[in-house]
Structure 1
Amino acid sequence: MNKKADFAIGQVIQHRLFNYRGVIFDVDAEFQGSEEWYEKNAKTGSPPKNEPWYHVLIDEDGRVAYVAQRNLELDYSHEPIDHPLIPNFFAGYDQGQYQSRYVFN
């Protein structure tokens, strides 16, 4: 049974453990990475693979993260994210929420 996604595309989040901010640009209903990636990167208490995982543009870093739902929380600063790929995914920003460049079904 899959858990419902707590966060949406365009939401600004904070990583609970690594204390970085970012914006979600994609969501997987469950872990979609390789077993090798999971063993190498999921060292924070073996996050569940059957819960949502998020693709995140990291603020002031330029990197992209793949993060388990349990490691995220909403960011309430209402500060925009500084990342070179923002224009690829989002058309605008308002009050802590990015507006998607694309219309999803």
Structure 2
Amino acid sequence: MTDPRMRTAKFGLGDVVRHRIYPFRGIVFDVDPIFDNTEEWWLAIPEEVRPRKDQPFYHLLAENAETEYVAYVSEQNLVPDTSGEALRHAGIAEVFERDATGIYRIRDRHPN
């Protein structure tokens, strides 16, 4: 039986996104159909901007002007990044390869 709270994710693995409010962008490397982090994490977000739990949440290899990090972001706070600029996050090369058109694809993990 399908959980009625689940819906199709708007973004997929390898999609480059940016935060709707905060100045960072990143690449999706995992998706949770609904919130799957700690209650403590969720409550630490100021109530006036706290996202709903009943939506996809994305694990991002994220970066801003100063640093690179892993972010966990609700779908309501993400928009597509259409800049076409390559990401610099050091973890990307381990998971993705960028093709000639600028699209990030999951690396083939099969041994040669």
TM-score interval, normalised by the smaller of the two chains: 0.7 to 0.9
Q: 2:71 aligns with which of 65, 68, 90?
A: 65
1:97 aligns with 2:108: no
Is the partner of 1:41 in helix, strand or coil?
coil
Task: Give the 4+ runs in structure 1 shifted more than 3 A.
Answer: 41-44, 93-96
TM-score by length of 1: 0.86
**Structure with larger Rg:** 2
Distance (whole Å) between structure 1 residues aligned to residue 59 and residue 49 of structure 2:
19
Question: For residues 48 and 100 of structure 2, what CA distance do their matches in structure 1 show?
Answer: 32
Calculate percent identity across the aligned residue pairs: 36
Runs of 5+ unmatched residues, structure 1: none
Over aligned residue pairs, what C-alpha RMSD do you find? Answer: 1.9
Q: Does 1:87 align with 2:93?
A: yes
| Unaligned residue ranges in structure 2 (runs of 5+) | none
Q: In the alignment, is the contact (CA less than 8 A) between 1:91 and 1:99 conserved in 2?
A: yes
**Quick one: structure 1 residues 63 and 42, their matched pair in 2 at CA, closer, same or farther if it must change by over 3 Å?**
farther
Quickly say closer, same or farther: Cα 1:42–1:10, change in 2 above 3 A: farther
Residue 92 of structure 1, CA deviation: 2.5
Equivalence map 1:14-53=2 (5 Å): 14-41=18-45, 43=47, 45-53=49-57
Shift of 1:59: 2.6
